[in-house]
Amino acid sequence: MLRNVNLVGRLGGIALATLSLGLAGSPAQASDDLVVRYDQSQLLRMPRAVSEIIIGNPTIADVTVQSGNMLVITGKTFGITNIIALDADKNVIQDQRVVVERDERGIVNVSRAGQRQSFSCTPNCAPTITIGDEAGYFNQVVQNSTTKLKFSESGSDGGGQQANQ
């Protein structure tokens, strides 16, 4: 179980923040579960070449095959699913349960009137988004990130061309 520490003070004008320290492990999971963090990837080596992958719930995790026997599993949302790896003869190589969970290290959750906002504090705090954040906050962070990405892409594409003209 995760230990929460309540902080009272100001965080951008907000009076209450909950810092999840992640000092203790998660609730009991089967020893053969593959734990993948939300928005992160995990490698899984198969004993032989994989020709087909079946994903129990593709909204929870995504899987790609790298170099025949290496799988890259990416956590897309929280939950439990499984992946089944098949060889060229459709024999099961492995049926693996996958648990996607949130990496709580360095995350500060700010709650106001039951609405959550997430910040990544490693070590300085910056807005981040997680499923379950208040919709307005979530959408604003997505919009700001998209705008920044477009600005960066247009700057790198157009900057060099304009300098050569």
In this structure, are 18 and 74 located in the same domain?
A: no
Q: List pLDDT tens digits, range 45-84.
A: 999 999 999 999 999 999 999 988 999 999 998 999 999 9
- 29 within some domain: no
CA dihedral 119, 122, 126, 129 (to 10 degrees): -40
What is the per-residue burial (b if ≥16 Cβ within 10 Å, else e) of 58-90? Answer: eebbbbebeeebebebbbbeebebbbbbbbeee
pTM of the model: 0.61
Q: What's 59's domain CATH number?
A: 2.60.40.1080
Domain count, the chain: 2
In this structure, are 75 and 131 located in the same domain?
A: no
Amino acid, res. 93 = I
In this structure, are 91 and 116 located in the same domain?
A: no
Q: 82, 85, 87, 68: which is closest to 36 by C-alpha?
A: 82
Q: How many whole angstroms separate alpha carbon 5 and alpha carbon 8?
A: 10
SS3 129: coil
Predicted local confidence at residue 73, as pLDDT? 97
In this structure, are 43 and 65 located in the same domain?
A: yes
In this structure, are 109 and 95 located in the same domain?
A: no
Q: List pLDDT tens digits, range 23-56.
A: 334 444 556 899 999 889 999 999 999 999 999 9
In this structure, are 97 and 109 located in the same domain?
A: no
- 160 within some domain: no
Give me the mean pLDDT over the 102-131 stretch: 88
Q: 100, 80, 82: which is closest to 92 by C-alpha?
A: 82
Lowest mean pLDDT among 11-20, 124-133, 141-150: 11-20
Domain encompassing residue 90: 34-101
